Structure 1
Amino acid sequence: MLKRNTFIILMLLICTFSGFAQRHFNPELFKIQLHKYILEKVQLSNQEKIAFFPIYDQMLNKRRGIFMQLRAIYHTKPVSEQQAKALIAKSDKLEIELKHIEQTYHQQLLRVISARKLCYILKAERHFHRMILKKIAEK
């Protein structure tokens, strides 16, 4: 009886920890899945792939840094009007910086792929993010 209870508790702990592990964000896995999704939706030649993805990945890394800063701001509860105004100003500044990063990298990407393909890639990226969010919401 004691062995059975110990076994059941052990299995519950393993299931619990594996559930938590699955919720942990893995940026490398996310990037691989995003690349795969983009390649399924947009036909890129081998030369385009070789030229596109390093630039695109740099953009993703810079955007991720901004998103993490924004997330920290959004999770901060202001204790005063002055702090709230400062958080709003910083958030606005980061959003503008994010758009500037995207604009800069879009110009670089347009040197290696056509504007039409870039539009399709950006659309695929938005769809991929919505799809991931839906999967997270279902869990």
Structure 2
Amino acid sequence: MKKLLYILALLIAFCSNLQAQKAKLSKEEFRQVQEKFITEKASLTTKEAKQFFPLYFELQDKKTSLNKKAWHKIRQGKQENVSEEEYNQIVEDVIETRIQIDQLDLDYVRKYKQFLPAKKIYDIQRAEMKFHRELLKPQKKK
């Protein structure tokens, strides 16, 4: 049971703490870098970017909030004398959080479709994955 909690915690950590991977950027600076990267890689026009990014960052804020709640639950599992029933609830709550995040992703993709073709949304998703891979690469020493 603890092993499952650990794996779930790693998944949540990966999603919620990617911003901390780069050197000391503020949230705004990070978002500027991310916006530039995605805009370039997905070939978004200025108009498309102006419509897309407010919704995209709204989604990211909602996902961060949900991940924080899940982390709070996971930390409860570190306490002494946690019962099997409490661990069960923690595991289910963390999974429910992932489901909520996936539903949010789907809801926002549907919003994007109101002004972006599916191909652009696909390109954005690929660019986002590339961006996160770049974050995880070790920084080269000069």
Shared fold per TM-score greater than 0.5? yes
Matches for 1:1-139 after TM superposition, within 5 Å: 26-75=26-75, 76-77=77-78, 79-135=82-138
TM-superposition CA deviations, 1:45-88 (whole Å, max 9, x none): 22211211111111111111122223333444262211110101
Paired residue type of 1:133 = L
Runs of 4+ in 1 over 4 A off after TM superposition: 22-25
Structure index of larger Rg: 1
Q: What is the alpha-carbon distance in structure 1 between the residues aligned to residue 29 and residue 74 of structure 2?
A: 25
Q: Which amino acid aligns with 1:106?
A: V
Q: Which has the higher helix share?
A: 1
Output the TM-score relative to the length of structure 2.
0.71
Q: Structure 1 pair 67/40, CA: closer, same or farther in 2 (3 Å)?
A: same
Which residue of structure 2 aligns with residue 15 of structure 1? none
In the comparison of the two structures, how many residue pairs are matched?
Answer: 116
Gaps of 5+ in 1: 1-21
Unpaired runs of at least 5, structure 2? 1-21
Identity %: 25
